[in-house]
Amino acid sequence: MIRSMTGFGEASLEVSGAHYFVEVRSLNSKYFKAVIRLPEEFQLLEAEIETQLRHRLQRGSVFMTANYSDVTGEFAHQINDKALTHYLAQLEKVPQVASGKAKIDMGAMLTLPGVLQPPADEEQRIAHARATMHELVEKACDRVVQMREREGQFVLTDLRTHAAIISQRLSKIAERSPTVSGEFEKRLKGRIEQMLKDLGLTVQPVDVVREIAIAAERSDISEEIARLTGHMQQFEQMLGAADPKPIGRTLDFLTQEMLREANTIASKCGDAEISKWTVEIKGAIDRIKEQVQNVE
């Protein structure tokens, strides 16, 4: 199945007065890479959320952001009265504070070590968050996958258009190749005979035939045509497969092999028509390679 690597999804949920929000975005990348931004109180969940994302979105750069707000105060941090009183007592001894020239910033006081204490039921808060966050990540990933599949249909259409061009030109090359080989052998035989005549030499006919056969073998493109045809068949099978397994890397490798065979055909055959068709094939392969970079 063809899916692109770009997608977006979000999900939100309110549980007992606490609001959770998750956003997931994905972009093209050769491998899977996750960037996860969680509220500070949920940092312990990062590793398991990354595993969840890797399972759902197996390729691409994935950016996941989560927000959390709790208006109930059920899991609010507690102020350590003794620690805060101790800090204040020390500050009141400072001359500038005692004289009223400097004021105490209570907001800044709360950031001092030991003033704010995590809630006693921290484990319960994390347990609540874990279940909710995983549910929201799953929903957001569902929407990312849906968007990837929609964009994948456009990519699939484009890939098949270029594949059709390759197959059509390859069919013409396969049809013309035997004629070109025959003409090449005839021209080569004429040149050899003329050269021997000019030099006044005579050789056994079997030697001439052997040299012609060797030269013809070097210019024969039938194997390359067969391999490129096989690559195109495999390419079409992969495009039509219903298996949700990512195929982007395999397609990338396959297009490299397709280009290798096209280059060999171009280098071995000097026929003008075949050369023209080969250039068109290479152009279509290049466009396929560009699109394959978008495939999961």
Residues 12 and 143 in one domain: yes
Among candidates 287, 276, 286, which has minimal Cα distance to 173?
276
What's the Cα-to-Cα distance from 161 to each of 66, 249, 293, rounded to whole Å? 41, 20, 17
Residue 116 in any domain: the answer is no
Residue 269 in any domain: the answer is yes
Residue 117 in any domain: the answer is no
Residues 89 and 163 in one domain: no
Residue 114 in any domain: the answer is no
Residues 56 and 138 in one domain: yes
Residues 58 and 162 in one domain: no
Residues 156, 239: Cα–Cα separation, whole Å: 7
CATH code of the domain containing 283: 1.20.140
Residue 130: both structure tokens together: 């874990």
Residues 187 and 265 in one domain: yes
Q: Name the residue range of residue 208's domain.
A: 152-292
**In the chain, how many domains are there?**
3
Residues 139 and 181 in one domain: no
CB atoms within 10 A of CB 221: 23
Q: Is 66 exposed, middle or buried (0-12, 13-18, 19+ CB in 10 A)?
A: buried
pLDDT in tens, 100-128: 777 777 777 777 787 776 665 567 777 77
Residue 103 in any domain: the answer is yes
pLDDT in tens, 24-39: 999 999 899 999 999 8
Residue 286 in any domain: the answer is yes
Residues 255, 41: Cα–Cα separation, whole Å: 47
Which residue in this structure is represented by tokens 């001359």?
95
Residues 183 and 103 in one domain: no
Residues 83 and 51 in one domain: no
Residues 172 and 281 in one domain: yes
pTM higher than 0.75:
no
Among candidates 55, 54, 57, which has minimal Cα distance to 5?
57
Give the DSSP H/E element, type plus range, for residue 296.
Answer: none
Residue 195 in any domain: the answer is yes
Residues 15 and 139 in one domain: yes
Among candidates 191, 201, 291, which has minimal Cα distance to 248?
291
Among candidates 245, 265, 246, 247, which has minimal Cα distance to 255?
247
Tens of pLDDT along the chain (296 residues)? 799 999 999 999 988 778 899 999 999 998 999 999 998 878 889 999 999 999 999 999 999 999 988 765 555 667 777 777 887 888 787 787 677 777 777 777 777 787 776 665 567 777 778 889 999 999 999 999 999 999 999 999 999 999 999 999 999 999 888 776 666 566 666 666 666 666 666 655 665 556 555 555 566 788 899 999 999 999 999 998 888 788 999 999 999 999 999 999 988 877 788 889 999 999 999 999 999 999 99
Residues 66 and 88 in one domain: no
Residues 14 and 93 in one domain: no
Residue 96 in any domain: the answer is yes
Among candidates 35, 17, 23, 29, which has minimal Cα distance to 128?
17
CATH code of the domain containing 49: 3.30.230.10
